């Protein structure tokens, strides 16, 4: 538990302050700042320092950046960069969290194609492992059709079910089939319900759609 030592009101703008002088929002979920949840961030800040300022109000109540704050306290930093805004903390907290949008799986692929240094290590590891199977051309296909590593994993699972494990051509054919005919959800349902591998393989090779039949008992 840290005790705030500074009660000064801060002007709008950027400031360097002691992390112990920041007050977490009462409504920020406690689980988000538990040690196990911030371990990666602790390592990142220890290795590279603070890139993004913590957003606070004029009394240094945190609006956005609770995990960064917890990580900075964890590594014992005595100074951090904050951006002060003149806004009600509750209203600003709601706006920041409603409007924020994390990178999607497809976004990660797009970034990877431009620079694999611009994504986190664990995401890069997953994409690099995928690249070994389908190559950079396969990643480009996935990206352009709105796919992700999840799409690749589903295609690999299907290839195993169809007796085509490790067959790059069939995996790529499956990826294109899943994405262009929008068969991702139906295929999961079909696999769960025990579809014949031969039937599924035929649909993929002939580029035909699956159809679910519903009835009433």
pTM above 0.85, yes or no: no
From first to last of its 217 residues, the chain has per-residue pLDDT tens of 444 555 668 899 999 999 999 999 888 888 889 988 899 899 989 988 999 999 999 999 999 999 999 999 999 999 999 999 998 777 887 777 776 667 789 999 998 998 888 787 888 899 999 999 999 999 999 999 999 999 999 999 999 999 999 899 999 999 999 988 887 888 888 888 888 899 899 989 999 888 766 445 5
Domains and CATH numbers, the chain: 13-99 (3.90.1530.10), 105-205 (no CATH)
Count CB-CB contacts under 10 A for residue 138.
Answer: 20
Model pLDDT, residue 192: 84
Model pLDDT, residue 216: 54
Burial class (CB in 10 A: 0-12, 13-18, 19+), 41: middle
194 phi and psi, to 5 degrees? 80, 40
State both tokens at 203.
Answer: 């649909």
106 phi and psi, to 5 degrees? -70, -35
Model pLDDT, residue 175: 93
């Amino acid at each position: 538990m840290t005790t705030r030592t500074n009660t000064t009101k801060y002007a709008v703008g950027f400031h360097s302050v002691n992390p112990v002088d920041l007050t977490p929002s009462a409504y920020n979920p406690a689980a988000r700042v538990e040690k196990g949840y911030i371990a990666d961030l602790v390592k990142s800040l220890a290795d590279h320092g603070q890139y993004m300022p913590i957003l606070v109000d004029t009394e240094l109540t945190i609006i956005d950046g609770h995990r960064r704050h917890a990580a900075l306290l964890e590594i014992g930093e005595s100074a951090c960069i904050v951006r002060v805004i003149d806004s009600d903390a509750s209203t600003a907290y709601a706006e920041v969290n409603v409007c924020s949008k994390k990178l999607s799986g497809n976004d990660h692929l797009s970034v990877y194609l431009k620079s694999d240094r611009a994504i986190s290590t664990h995401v890069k590891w997953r994409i690099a492992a995928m690249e070994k199977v389908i190559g950079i051309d396969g990643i480009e296909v996935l990206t352009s059709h709105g796919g992700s590593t999840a799409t690749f994993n589903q295609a690999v699972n299907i290839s195993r079910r169809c007796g085509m494990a490790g067959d790059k051509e069939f995996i790529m054919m499956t990826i294109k089939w899943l994405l262009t005919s929008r068969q991702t959800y139906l295929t999961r349902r079909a696999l769960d319900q025990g579809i014949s591998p031969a039937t599924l393989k035929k649909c993929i090779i002939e580029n035909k759609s699956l159809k679910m039949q519903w009835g009433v008992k």
